[in-house]
């Protein structure tokens, strides 16, 4: 039986790779390309800041003031997140696939660990989604069971009737715990055919755009 709901990530799925944008910023500051990602993995203080801002426990300004000196002494705090996401580009093929699924009656839910709201500028939420769930609004973040359960509740389906798409293994594993079929996204060329099969909907680039 075809799935009835799509729960999908934003950064790295409906956009190009997030790490590439992070790397662009780090290079612009004279830092190693992997500096920001390495901090998140290796520096507990950086991890705490990220969790805090994603859950809405600290403001974006507080995150920037705390993270900038960890990155380097000359990194400006003001506009740090804007800089980190400045070269993040939309993946139009993926966005059109989501829009086409919605036109065919699939319930679509954006589920994103948010780093402020600027990265979502230009995302046509009214066309793409029935529901937009940002971690900072919920006080929850992936991969907690509670945030997946909430996404299923608002979609009105059980886990077995939902497909989840994310570019991180741990987030896919979290969705699978609640019974969702998870697709680990690497690029549109591999994800779109899997979506077409899961929902029994033909998906081609530009199909949704041609309907509007």
- Identify which of 115, 86, 75, 73 has the alpha carbon closest to the alpha carbon of residue 24: 86
CB hemisphere CA count around 87 (13 angstroms): 11
Distance of CA 119 to the CA centre of its chain: 10
CB 101 within 8 A of CB 199: yes
**Structure confidence at residue 205 (pLDDT):** 52
Phi, psi of 133 (to 5 degrees): -120, 115
First to last CA, the chain: 29
Say if residue 49 is exposed, middle or buried (CB neighbours under 10 Å; 0-12, 13-18, 19+). Answer: buried
Prediction pTM value: 0.93
Question: How high does pLDDT run on average in the chain?
Answer: 95
Q: What pLDDT digit, counting tens, does each position of 112-140 carry?
A: 999 999 999 889 999 999 999 999 999 99
Q: What pLDDT digit, counting tens, does each position of 171-181 carry?
A: 999 999 999 99
Q: Cβ neighbours of residue 210 under 8 Å, at least 6 residues apart?
A: none
In three-state secondary structure terms, 54 is helix
Q: What pLDDT digit, counting tens, does each position of 83-98 carry?
A: 999 999 999 999 999 9
**Structure confidence at residue 210 (pLDDT):** 39
**Structure confidence at residue 204 (pLDDT):** 77
pLDDT beneath 70: ranges in the chain: 205-212
| Number of C-beta neighbours around residue 10 at 10 A | 22
**Structure confidence at residue 212 (pLDDT):** 41
CB 136 within 8 A of CB 55: yes
Max CA pair span of the chain: 56
**Structure confidence at residue 72 (pLDDT):** 95
């Amino acid at each position: 039986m075809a799935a009835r709901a799509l729960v999908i990530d934003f950064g790295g799925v409906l956009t190009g790779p997030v790490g590439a944008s992070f790397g662009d910023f780090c290079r612009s500051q004279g830092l190693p390309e992997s500096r920001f990602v390495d901090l998140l993995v290796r520096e507990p203080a950086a991890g705490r800041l990220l969790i805090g801002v994603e859950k809405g426990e600290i403001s974006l300004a507080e995150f920037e003031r705390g993270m900038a000196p960890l990155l380097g002494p000359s990194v400006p705090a003001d506009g740090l997140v804007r800089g980190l996401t400045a070269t993040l580009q939309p993946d139009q093929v993926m966005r059109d696939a989501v829009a086409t699924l919605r036109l065919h009656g699939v319930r679509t839910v954006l589920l994103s660990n948010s780093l402020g709201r600027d990265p979502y500028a230009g995302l046509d939420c009214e066309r793409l989604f029935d529901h937009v769930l940002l971690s900072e609004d919920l006080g929850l973040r992936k991969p907690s069971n509670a945030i997946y359960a909430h996404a299923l509740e608002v979609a009105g389906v059980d886990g077995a009737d939902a497909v989840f798409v994310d570019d991180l293994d741990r987030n896919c594993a979290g969705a699978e715990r609640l019974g969702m079929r998870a697709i680990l996204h690497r690029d549109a060329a591999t994800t779109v055919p899997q979506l077409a099969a899961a929902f029994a909907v033909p998906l081609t680039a530009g199909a949704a755009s041609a309907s509007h």
